Amino acid sequence: MTNTDTQTTDLPKGWVWTTIDNIAWVTKLAGFEFTKYIKYQESGPVKVIRGLNVGYGEFRDENFKYIDIETSDGLPRSQLRGGEILIAYVGTIGTVAILPRSNQRYHLGPNVGKIVLDELVSNPQFVMYYLLSSSGQKQIHSKSKAVTQSSLSMGTIRQFTLPLPPLAEQHRIVAKIEELFSDLDHSIAALETAQAQLKIYRQAVLKYAFEGKLTEQWRQQHTPPPAAELLAQIQAERAQNGKPAKSLPPLTESELAELPGLPEGWVWTKLSAISDVLGGLTKNSKRETLNLKVPYLRVANVYANKLDLKEVHEIGINESELNRVSLCKNDLLIVEGNGSIDQIGRVAIWNDEIKGCAHQNHIIKARPLLNFSSKFILYFLLSWTGRNFIVSVASSTSGLHTLSLSKVENLKIPICSLEEQQAIIAEIEARLSVIDKLEETIETSLQQAEALRQSILKQAFAGKLLPQDAHDEPATLLLERIKNAKGAKDARGANV
């Protein structure tokens, strides 16, 4: 958006188009000043404001570096006294906030500029809200320059245009914006509370499912075989197919004593007792020379009960590896490693979305045996108990939390008959589908709330939020006073 484009918009009577430079003093801490004079301290009397302290209409009073008073006094142009508009001009451009007034001393750091207005002639909140509006944000982003990261010069900021109403009308508009935003914030808070409660309810559904509570009535009406019989059938099938299970020690009495109680007929076992657990392909330069190429899943493709297949790479593979690393419908995928403990062990089910697909070694697959439900295992590993099992065995080396084949094989899983598994899955999915719809509704409402916020700002800066007062002094006279006031301020300190 150019200045000319902006100024073609009709304004209410008494308003005028102007630039930031006409109504404010804009400056920053110069790069050479930062390099030569600023020596950060971990504590001190003067807080240094950096880009991370400036949000969208929010001053973030946390995560500061500090300087001493002598350094701040030696750089008076970039000192802060409260009431200034702060604007990030490198990196995350578009963030704008007002520094609250307090007894705390602050100083500009790198990447943040200040816009200083004389509040007797212009309202800082009015200017801030305009810069946060869609029109203001378009100017900011359309005029930024990007080499390694987006940036704005002080000269560019000074040339931003904005509509200027009479001062009294500015105050009324700000008061109305804040009244409406307060109501909107309360609505958003209520939606976010409901959103958090749904997450708790989702986990409660999974908890009750694997305590057998969702199928209590089902068990009263059916007589399923005990889970021990299912385990015996799996072992017999493995032996018949010439694939005996790995010799893993059974759960000890002390281990069983620490596990949650189960309904009669259920048992605790290890994942390796009910599935084949297999690793994937190790990526290396030699694979680039192989003729056979297949699509393969990476960690970036696997999320919690979700696959992102927008970007699937190919990898060279030997014929002899195909059986081991190829994916089959209903394979359970488990992420082996991730930098965050919250993301370790993400699980999803492969539904044969891509034919002939393999997987990398950082994804472990568990292939259930004898029609054992992969969904049953998935939902358990998504539950609080299942997540705790995963987190407890994940090791951390230099901040990277990892699983291994043996750790995944030894994950504890509660099992019941195949019939009850299907009943449990049906009960879970009936409840989760309701939760999913409610979450979609809340997410839509949150998006609409943000759209309404921008609509309020659009109405405000078109002069349509409030009726005008014919007794207000026109902005043309206001600009004349601003010009005189700004001239006096410029005499006290030159722009950078």
Residue 258, phi then psi, degrees to nearest 5: -85, -10
Work out the average pLDDT over 124-153.
90
Produce one character per residue of 58-77: b if its CB has 16 or more CB atoms within 10 Å, e if not.
eeeeeebbbbeeebbeebeb
Which pLDDT score is estimated for 1?
44
Work out the average pLDDT over 290-302.
94
| CATH fold for the domain made of 229-413 | Adenine-n6-DNA-methyltransferase TaqI; Chain A, domain 2 (3.90.220)
Which pLDDT score is estimated for 400?
73
**Predicted confidence band of residue 4 (pLDDT cuts 50, 70, 90):** very low
Which pLDDT score is estimated for 140?
93
pLDDT in tens, 332-372: 999 997 667 888 899 999 999 999 999 999 999 999 998 99
Q: Which of 100, 113, 117 is nearest to 164 (CA)?
A: 117
Question: Mean pLDDT of all residues in the chain?
Answer: 91
DSSP 110: T
For residues 360 and 280, the answer to whether their CB atoms sit within 8 Å is yes
Q: Which of 76, 67, 73, 66 is nearest to 25 (CA)?
A: 76
For residues 329 and 351, the answer to whether their CB atoms sit within 8 Å is yes
Residue 151, phi then psi, degrees to nearest 5: -155, 160
The residue written with tokens 């604007």 in the block is: 87
Is 222 a residue whose pLDDT tops 80?
yes
Other CB atoms within 10 A of residue 12 CB:
14
| CATH fold for the domain made of 3-165+476-492 | Adenine-n6-DNA-methyltransferase TaqI; Chain A, domain 2 (3.90.220)
- In a 3-state reduction of DSSP, which class is residue 206? helix
- In a 3-state reduction of DSSP, which class is residue 62? coil
Taking the C-alpha atoms of residue 90 and residue 112, their distance in angstroms, rounded to an integer, is: 8
**pTM reported for the whole predicted model:** 0.81
Which pLDDT score is estimated for 6?
55
Work out the average pLDDT over 369-398.
91
Q: Which of 372, 333, 16, 14 is nearest to 6 (CA)?
A: 16
Which pLDDT score is estimated for 364?
96
pLDDT in tens, 400-431: 788 999 999 999 999 999 999 999 999 999 99
Work out the average pLDDT over 185-208.
97
Q: Which is more confident, 306 or 252?
A: 306
Residue 338, phi then psi, degrees to nearest 5: -165, 150
- In a 3-state reduction of DSSP, which class is residue 397? strand
Taking the C-alpha atoms of residue 168 and residue 190, their distance in angstroms, rounded to an integer, is: 34
Produce one character per residue of 108-135: b if its CB has 16 or more CB atoms within 10 Å, e if not.
bbbbbbbbbbbeebbbbbbbbbbbbbeb
Taking the C-alpha atoms of residue 370 and residue 232, their distance in angstroms, rounded to an integer, is: 11
pLDDT in tens, 73-120: 999 999 999 999 999 999 889 999 999 999 999 999 999 999 999 888
Kindly give, in sequence order, each residue whose CB lies less than 8 Å from that of residue 474, ignoring residues fewer than 6 positions away.
14, 16, 166
Which pLDDT score is estimated for 492?
56
Read off the tokens for 338: 């991730």
For residues 143 and 111, the answer to whether their CB atoms sit within 8 Å is no
